[in-house]
């Protein structure tokens, strides 16, 4: 614990010194779940990109050394003491941070959450990486993009009761009309178990010999399906796509079993969160239901009734960019 | 009723009937190549069921096999990432040794501390999963990080069957000899059949149970490597809930949960029965909601068969006892 505290102090202190160096700049604190996680290091890169674009912004990238709410509260308290202009946080706990963040807002600090949200009363707005309709559209688009002539696709989901996957599949079915010629022949459930997903994928290829793509909107399923396609010798015939992490899917893209897949881009997320925090702190945008806030190169975010908004379509990864991301997350 | 006496015969009949049923809905299922694929897919279940059988014979149960598999698999995967040049032979030895060591922990707790096996293995099951998390930090080991020989070994085809299948066959042969032709194998039966009588014949009951757990652990460890190699991914939840499939395979195979009754052939057939159901359900186009019910029904029917077989035997003894009174 002592080491943890020391490291946290060092992290905060280094932020403090950097802050003192150029006091006129707007200071935006990007607080992450824990330091040293590839995903958040990438988000910090995006935040720096936004700062460079804006010019008069300085980023304080900080967070605890382990993913605890207590560690984050400590970090946020010291940020309040430094009187930063805005805090953008990816929370380790939805509720635990609320009192501390309320205190920050009372001091005039603009608080937003991104990636992992904070309860409504603890932040001014929340930035989701994407939204259910955007994800539903993306997973079918990923399959359709490689099937200009149309074809048969099947969905390999998690469990029959997985809320996220069911919503995404429902949203996908709503937009099927936009993809003529693409037919969803089956929806099967791998229960997020590698062996069952593998078996279901093998079964799909047997039942539908002309199958062109398997859409797996789950990280276990997509990896297992890719392995099943490789083992069945159907690389090039059956394209595995859906939602997965670059580190987990690098092998599947390399083998050709997966042409492309999608997930959020942490760089874009850090960039957008910084842009939003900047506009809120500048006062040229307000966080209220229905408001739109500019996110620079990522367009605009429109806030819903809970003052949360979706950044963009999930980001597509393929052989051209997988190597840049596979070591990040 | 005489044909009922051989459980292997009934099970073989049930498997043939099952295959015929599946074939009516999806003919290609019974093509030799597909049957070989089904056997290969069922191989880990066969190996684990054989280990579980030994444990159940001694009136114990090992619920930690899937967690043992996952932990050993994770260690093998991390070893491979750290030292990609390490020969597969060494990995196999590590898998067997680590699996046996984990099984020995169960065995010692049951033997020396006299804790009920279901409690011990329920505990170690959770502990093993926790250890995987500590080792891996919750991170996955992914296919592109593993060496080609690491994932390729289990897939390498010899005489038409992948190495994975051959290992299952080899384990089955070894277990057949051990259980029917060695003093140790017979002692395991004796311990489960009648522990008190076993003590009088000079068999150490606790030690036999310890040996059973070591065998089960060793086979689970072996499966750990094979599983990771086959699915080319290692993470905390690998084979989650698989221990129940293993116990189910044993029960279907006629291994009595009360101990002492069961054969190597039964365990293999039980695993095959379950494996065929698992592989057939995705291709016969049955709603996933029904699939669970069908798997469950198969297990209950098997237990019903077991209970009936046992009851008939019990009645005979009781009746003869009544007669003598």
**Å from A186 to nearest chain B CA?**
9
Q: What is the pLDDT of residue B153?
A: 92
Residue of chain B minimizing CA distance to A201: B282
C-beta atoms of B231 and A200 within 8 A: no
Choose the closest CB to A188 out of B145, B242, B288: B288
Determine which helix (DSSP H) or strand (DSSP E) holds A77, and give its type and residue range: helix A69-82
pLDDT digits (tens, 9 = 90+) for B159-210: 989 999 999 999 999 999 999 999 999 999 999 999 999 999 999 999 999 9
Nearby residues of A60 by Cβ (< 8 Å), 6 or more positions away: A15, A18, A19, A27, A28, A29, A30, A79, A82, A84
C-beta atoms of B282 and A326 within 8 A: no
Report the range of poorest mean pLDDT among A97-106, B50-59, B285-294, B315-324.
Answer: B315-324
Q: What are phi and psi of A263, to 5 degrees?
A: -170, 170
pLDDT digits (tens, 9 = 90+) for B201-243: 999 999 999 999 999 999 999 999 999 999 999 988 889 889 9
Choose the closest CB to A199 out of B41, B142, B233: B41
Nearest Cα neighbor of B278 from B4, B111, B39 is B39
CATH architecture of A2-128+266-313: 3-Layer(aba) Sandwich (3.40)
Average pLDDT over residues B255-266: 90
**Å from B231 to nearest chain A CA?**
7
With DSSP H G I counted as helix, E B as strand and the rest as coil, what are the percentages for chain B, rounded to 5? Answer: 80, 0, 20
Helix axes B288-324, B7-25, angle to 10 degrees: 160
Q: What is the pLDDT of residue B275?
A: 92
Residue of chain A minimizing CA distance to B44: A195
**Which residues on chain A are in Cβ contact (under 8 Å) with B285?**
186, 207
Q: What is the pLDDT of residue A17?
A: 46
**Which residues on chain A are in Cβ contact (under 8 Å) with B289?**
160
Question: B296 — contact with chain A (CB < 8 Å)?
Answer: no
The pLDDT of residue B317 is above 60: no
Question: A56 — contact with chain B (CB < 8 Å)?
Answer: no
Mutate to test the interface with B, among A188, A203, A214, A256 (most CBs of B within 10 A): A203
Low-confidence ranges of chain A (pLDDT < 70): 1-23
C-beta atoms of B283 and A203 within 8 A: yes
C-alpha span between B311 and A280 (Å, rounded) = 77
User: What number does CATH give the domain B2-324?
Assistant: 1.10.3470
Average pLDDT over residues B259-274: 92
Fold equal for A2-128+266-313 and A132-263: yes
Average pLDDT over residues B313-323: 53
Question: A237 — contact with chain B (CB < 8 Å)?
Answer: no
Pairs of CB atoms within 8 A across A/B: 73
C-alpha span between A253 and A244 (Å, rounded) = 11
Question: A8 — contact with chain B (CB < 8 Å)?
Answer: no
Confidence of residue B288 (pLDDT cuts 50, 70, 90): confident
C-beta atoms of B240 and A200 within 8 A: no
Whole-number mean pLDDT of chain B? 89
| pTM score above 0.90 | no
CB A60 within 8 A of CB A30: yes
Is A37 exposed, middle or buried (CB count within 10 Å of its CB: 0-12, 13-18, 19+)?
middle
Q: What would the DSSP string read from start to end of B15-67?
A: HHHHHHHHHHH-GGGGSHHHHHHHHHHHHHHHHHHHHHHHHHHTT---TTHHH
C-beta atoms of B282 and A207 within 8 A: yes
| Interface pTM, i.e. ipTM | 0.80
CA geometry: angle B133, B247, B59, nearest 5 deg: 105
Residue of chain A minimizing CA distance to B276: A199
C-alpha span between A115 and A125 (Å, rounded) = 12
Domain ranges of chain A: 2-128+266-313, 132-263
Upper half-sphere CA count for residue B175 (Cβ side, 13 Å): 29
Question: B204 — contact with chain A (CB < 8 Å)?
Answer: no
Nearest Cα neighbor of B296 from B271, B277, B311 is B277
Mutate to test the interface with B, among A251, A317, A327 (most CBs of B within 10 A): A251
Choose the closest CB to A250 out of B26, B144, B278: B144
Question: B283 — contact with chain A (CB < 8 Å)?
Answer: yes
Upper half-sphere CA count for residue B9 (Cβ side, 13 Å): 6
C-alpha span between B312 and B207 (Å, rounded) = 33
Choose the closest CB to B285 out of A207, A224, A252: A207
CATH architecture of A132-263: 3-Layer(aba) Sandwich (3.40)
C-beta atoms of B143 and A227 within 8 A: yes
Question: A326 — contact with chain B (CB < 8 Å)?
Answer: yes
Residue of chain A minimizing CA distance to B40: A199
């Amino acid at each position: 614990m002592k080491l943890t505290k020391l490291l946290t102090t060092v992290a905060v202190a280094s932020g403090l010194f950097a802050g003192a160096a150029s006091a006129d700049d707007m200071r935006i604190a990007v607080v992450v779940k824990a330091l040293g996680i590839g995903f958040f290091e990438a988000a910090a890169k995006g935040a720096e990109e936004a700062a460079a674009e804006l010019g008069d912004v300085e980023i304080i990238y900080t967070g605890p050394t382990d993913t605890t709410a207590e560690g984050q509260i400590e970090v946020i308290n010291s940020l309040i003491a430094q009187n930063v202009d805005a805090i953008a946080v990816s929370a380790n706990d939805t509720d635990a941070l609320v009192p501390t963040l309320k205190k920050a807002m009372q001091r005039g600090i603009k608080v937003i959450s991104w990636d992992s949200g904070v309860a409504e009363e603890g932040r001014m707005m929340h930035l989701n990486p994407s939204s259910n309709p955007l994800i539903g559209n993306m997973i079918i688009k990923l399959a359709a993009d490689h099937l200009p002539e149309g074809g048969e696709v099947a969905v390999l989901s998690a469990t029959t009761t997985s809320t996220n996957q069911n919503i995404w599949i429902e949203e996908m079915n709503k937009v099927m009309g936009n993809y003529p010629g693409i037919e969803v022949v089956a929806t099967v459930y791998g229960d997020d178990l590698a062996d069952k997903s593998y078996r279901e994928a093998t079964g799909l290829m047997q039942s539908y010999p002309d199958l062109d793509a398997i859409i797996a909107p789950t990280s276990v399923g997509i990896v297992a399906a890719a392995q099943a396609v490789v083992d069945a010798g159907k690389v090039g015939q059956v394209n595995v796509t859906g939602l997965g992490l670059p580190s987990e899917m690098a092998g599947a893209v390399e083998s050709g079993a997966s042409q492309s897949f999608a997930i959020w881009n942490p760089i874009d997320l850090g960039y957008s969160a910084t842009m939003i925090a900047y506009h809120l702190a500048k006062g040229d945008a307000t966080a209220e239901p229905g408001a739109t806030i500019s996110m620079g190169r990522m367009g605009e975010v429109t806030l819903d009734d809970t003052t949360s908004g979706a950044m963009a379509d999930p980001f597509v990864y393929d052989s051209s960019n997988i190597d840049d991301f596979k070591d990040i997350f | 009723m005489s044909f009922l006496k051989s459980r292997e015969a009934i099970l073989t009949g049930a498997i043939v009937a099952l295959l015929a049923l599946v074939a009516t809905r999806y003919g290609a299922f019974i093509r030799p190549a597909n049957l070989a694929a089904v056997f290969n897919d069922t191989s880990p279940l066969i190996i684990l069921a054989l280990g579980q059988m030994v444990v159940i014979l001694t009136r114990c149960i090992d619920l930690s096999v899937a967690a043992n598999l996952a932990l050993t698999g994770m260690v093998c995967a991390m070893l491979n990432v750290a030292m990609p040049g390490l020969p597969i032979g060494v990995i196999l030895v590590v898998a067997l040794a680590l699996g046996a060591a984990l099984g020995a922990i169960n065995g010692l707790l049951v033997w020396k501390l006299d804790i009920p096996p279901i409690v011990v293995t329920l505990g170690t099951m959770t502990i093993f999963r926790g250890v995987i998390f500590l080792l891996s930090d919750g991170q996955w080991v992914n296919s592109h990080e593993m060496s080609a020989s690491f994932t390729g070994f289990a897939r390498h085809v010899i005489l038409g069957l992948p190495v994975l299948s051959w290992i299952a066959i080899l384990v089955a042969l070894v277990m057949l000899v051990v259980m029917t032709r060695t003093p140790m194998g017979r002692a395991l039966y004796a311990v489960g059949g009648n522990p008190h009588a076993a003590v009088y014949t000079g068999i150490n009951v606790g030690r036999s149970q310890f040996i059973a757990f070591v065998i089960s652990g060793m086979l689970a460890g072996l499966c750990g490597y094979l599983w990771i190699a086959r699915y080319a991914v290692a993470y905390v939840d690998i084979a989650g809930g698989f221990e129940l499939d293993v116990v189910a395979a044993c029960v279907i195979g006629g291994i009595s949960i009360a101990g002492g009754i069961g054969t190597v052939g039964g365990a293999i057939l039980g695993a095959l029965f379950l494996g065929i159901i698992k592989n057939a359900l995705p291709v016969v186009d049955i709603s996933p909601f029904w699939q669970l019910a069908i798997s469950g029904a198969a297990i209950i029917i098997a237990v019903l068969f077991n209970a009936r077989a046992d009851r008939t035997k019990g009645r005979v003894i009781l009746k003869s006892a009544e007669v003598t009174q």
